[in-house]
Chains A and B, each alone.
Chain A
C-alpha cells in the first residue's frame, strides 16, 4: 500500500497561472480532504468529498475547485493563482466505515505564488 500520494512535491507559480495538485489513495477510502497549512495556523479545510461524484466546501474554498470522478483520485485545481495561496497543501483520506475518523495524510505539496 502506498497510502496517500501527492504530486508535485514543490511548485512555483506566477500570479494568474493555474495548476492542478494531484492526490491519489489506494486504501479504498470513501472520504477525502484537502487542507492548507500556513505557518502557525494549523490546518484549514479547503474541500472534502464523501464519495465519488460528491464534493463540498470546507472553511476556505475560495480560489479552488475539486472533482471526484473515482474513489481513488481527488485533484485540487487553482484557476488564478494569487500570493495568498502560497502554502503547503495536504490531501488526506479516511474510511467512513470506521467509527472514529482517523485521517491518513499525504506528504504535501509546497506551493509558492510569486
Chain B
C-alpha cells in the first residue's frame, strides 16, 4: 500500500537558518503530494502541493519539488522565522476510491530567536 516516510524530529533551528525536512513516499500510481502544517492547538492546514513529476509547490517561502525518480518531496525554506514553529506533515493522495490521503508521522520544528 501507499506510505510516507519523513524525518523524525524535533528539529531545532535558529532564526534565519535554512530548513530541510525530508520526505519520501511509496505509491503504486501517480499520487499528488502535499505538505500540511499544524500550529499548536490547531488542525492541519495545507501548506503546499504538487500534482505531477517535477512540479514545484511553494507558499510562504516554503518550497518542495515532486521528484518521481527518487520518490521524494523534501520541504525547504531559506530563512526560517520563530512563527514557523509547528509540526509539518508530508502526505500523498491517490485519485481513486474515496481519495484516501496517507500522512507521514509529522516533524516538529522549533525555531529559536
Contacts and interface: CB of A to CB of B under 8 A. Distances in A.
Interface of A: 4, 31, 40-43, 45, 48, 50, 56, 90, 92, 94, 96, 99-108
A19 to B, nearest CB: 20
A53 to B, nearest CB: 15
B32 A101 contact: yes
B105 A108 contact: no
Contacts of A94: 99
A50 B98 contact: yes
Contacts of B101: 101, 103
Contacts of A106: 43
A106 B13 CA distance: 29
A1 to B, nearest CB: 14
Given A90-B43, A105-B44, A99 B106 contact: no
Interface in B22-44: 32, 34, 41-44
Contacts of A100: 32, 49, 51, 93, 95
Contacts of B49: 100, 102
Contacts of B104: 42
21 contacts: A31-B98, A31-B99, A40-B105, A42-B103, A43-B89, A43-B103, A48-B98, A56-B98, A92-B43, A100-B32, A100-B93, A101-B101, A102-B46, A102-B49, A103-B44, A103-B46, A103-B101, A105-B43, A105-B44, A105-B45, A107-B41
Contacts of B68: none
B51 A42 contact: no
B99 A96 contact: yes
Contacts of B89: 42-43
| Residue of A94, A96, A105 contacting most chain B CB atoms (<10 Å) | A105
B95 A42 contact: no
B98 A107 contact: no
| Residue of A31, A99, A102, A107 contacting most chain B CB atoms (<10 Å) | A102
The 6 closest A-B pairs by CB, nearest first: A105-B43, A101-B99, A42-B105, A101-B93, A100-B32, A105-B44
A98 B86 CA distance: 27
Contacts of B106: 40, 42
